[in-house]
Amino acid sequence: MRQVELNAPKELDLYLILDNRSTHKTEDVTKWFAKHPRTKLHLTPTSALWLNAVKNWFSKLERQALYRGVFCSVNDLKDAIHRFLKTHNEKLVNPFIWTKKASTILDSVQRAKDALIETIY
């Protein structure tokens, strides 16, 4: 975080979203964030188990398509992600399919955000 804080443009607020592990709540961590008010820590609610599936999917994307990749532009990165998606959905026996309606997911996200706000205040 020190490197991010030092290198990010000073006019930007920084938002860090982490899981709800106790290591993120230690006295040293709390003091560091108190001394760096533009860096805001948000911990995911422990009840957000649905995020595990999302986390696993992005982990797979990172391991299989992005790790050690060199992308000279945003379009290069997008192309790599699209290639991964195409291969993943065409070649695998069980392609990943989102099964919930967007409104259901957004409602769940709102509940998670509300719970997150409660943990901050």
Tens-place pLDDT, residues 25-78: 788 888 988 999 998 888 777 766 777 777 888 898 999 989 888 899 999 999
Residues 99 and 76 in one domain: yes
Q: What is the pLDDT of residue 121?
A: 61
Percent of the chain exceeding pLDDT 70 equals 90
CA 25 to chain centre: 19
Same domain flag for 68 and 107: yes
Q: Which is more confident, 14 or 92?
A: 14
Q: Are residues 31 and 55 in the same domain?
A: no
pLDDT reported for residue 81: 93
108 and 61, same domain (yes or no)? yes
Query: How would residue 93 be classed by pLDDT, with cut points 50, 70 and 90?
Result: low
Identify the band that residue 96 occupies on the pLDDT scale cut at 50, 70 and 90.
low
65 and 120: one domain?
Answer: yes
What integer pLDDT is reported at residue 48 of this predicted model?
66
pTM score: 0.40
Q: Which residues of 10-41 are buried (b: 16+ CB within 10 A; e: fewer)?
A: eeeeeeeeeeeeeeeeeeeeeeeeeeeeebeb
Which pLDDT does position 80 carry in this prediction?
Answer: 93
Question: Of how many residues is the chain composed?
Answer: 121
Q: Domain of residue 57: give its range.
A: 51-121
Token reading at 40: 């805001």
C-alpha angle 52/57/59, rounded to 5°?
A: 90
What is the total count of domains within the chain? Answer: 2
Average pLDDT over residues 101-108: 86
